[in-house]
Amino acid sequence: MDEHFVHSSQQQNTRIQGAGAIVSEQNRQNALELMRRIHKIETKNAAAKAQIDKNLESALDCVNRVRIFVDDPSQILGSDNTKHGEIAERIDIWFHNANLIMHNRRPDAVKSEARTGAEDYFVNGVAVQSKYINSTNNSLRHVLEHMEKYTDINFGRDGSYYVIPKDQYEQIKNILSGNTGSLSSKSVRAILDKVCQIEQETSRSFFDVVRPGHVDYAAVQRGKVTETLENKDAQLNHTADKQRQHADDRSDAKRKEAQRAAAPSLQKAAMAAAGTAAFSGTSQLAIGIYGKCKEGKKINEFTTEDWKDIGIDTAKATAEGGISGFAIYGITNFTNIEAAPAAAGVALAISLSELTYCRVNGTISQDEFAERCQIAALNAAVSAVGAAAGQYLIPVPVLGAYIGSFIATKGLEKLCDEGFHNALTMSSYEVQQMAQRLAYGTTHIVSNSACTTQSIVQAKSFHEETQALLDDFNRKKR
């Protein structure tokens, strides 16, 4: 029996199980990062929709303020034919504020304290005079009369402006573009004359001096205003629905982007290969130096040949680690196979390829080839079981799997007193006896290692507490 092959096979399986643990940890961190990103996206989306609901409530309250004002006609200035003037002011103020609130902006329209002064209200500090008269020509005439009345304060010339019904404003725009509609030529000339006069008086563009209100002239009449307010409620609710849908769409797009970023890729496979190559090379370097020291040499006594041997083994292990990491990454990310059995499969494949090469070159006989294949398969299986158990009992990434794999392969060697070769050629009775000895040994270790078990439990508890603290820290940081 080639003891050197057995030993090197054990080392190889332990290294590759360590590589599997590295890939597994990389996959776990990748999954955790995806979970953190998804949680952050969901939290932001929930906060955005909560803000939309809050904005909607405030915007609807703006509309309700107009409703309360309209419901008490005794508080509205003017006769039944002119009360629509103050109603129009309130609508323009509170509809303007409602629109700003729905877009998460600060409302900036306020009613003037003087109900009959030069200005009716202010928008972001700029004075505004509302002129809701029963025709376009009349509204413009009232604008000119107001402008003449307040020449001393330059109203309409200093940045302050007038608001007329929305439909009348659109009619003026159509006329200026040549679309007069059903208007008589006399009416068109009267409107155009007043537009020119306003521009001459102010030296400003008509559209800077006169701006549209939020509703048409008819919408502010007492018989129509209730419907106007209901329509505004519906519009605000529709806007909120669109904003919620936009928030969900934005969240879905970010979630898909996060999933794409977390998906397996060649770049991540290369990272895994680099990490496993470094791990395998470093571990083999340590083992090589330890082996030379075990022969009785000190490091400063190593010859060139010693360092050459160590270097060759390290380079081989590094290349093997890189190939293993790349393969294990592919297996664990594109199948449902866990890291330990994936690493076992990769280790066995590498061993079989090396043995096949040796058999083809005649370095080993057919019997030796079959025997070593059996040993490689057994080592790979035992190493995988040990790695899985070690990772469970020692919840420290990579270290648990590496220690478990090492102990499992060494433990099997110790339990099989007759050696691997005889273990593979034992009778069924001997196999049963060995299984019983293994079971007894395991039971004995468990029942008589209370201290060790307690230490493992404490280590797991400490790990869980540390993880909880880290999770709490990450939540607070977000």
**Sites in the chain below the pLDDT cut of 50:** 1, 399, 408, 415, 417-421, 423-463, 465-467, 469-470, 473, 477
How far is residue 363 from each of residues 90, 282, 348, 375, 421, measured CA to CA in Å? 99, 29, 19, 17, 19
Cβ neighbours of 152 (radius 10 Å) = 7
> Helices 3-70 and 339-360: crossing angle, nearest 10°?
150
pLDDT number for residue 468: 53
Which pLDDT score, from 0 to 100, does residue 178 have? 92
Q: Please give the pLDDT value at position 432.
A: 47
Identify the pLDDT of residue 108. 96
The reported pLDDT for the residue numbered 391 is: 56
The DSSP bridge partners found for residue 433 are none
Q: What is the per-residue pLDDT for 466?
A: 44
Q: How far is Cα of residue 381 from the mean position of the Cα atoms in its chain?
A: 39
Give pLDDT, residue 394: 53
The residues pairing with 210 across neighbouring beta strands, listed in sequence order, are 162
CB neighbour class for 321 (10 Å; exposed up to 12, middle 13-18, buried from 19): buried
Distance from C-alpha of 478 to C-alpha of 476, rounded to nearest angstrom:
5
Q: What is the pLDDT of residue 132?
A: 96
What separation, in Å, do the N-terminal and C-terminal C-alpha atoms of the chain show? 60
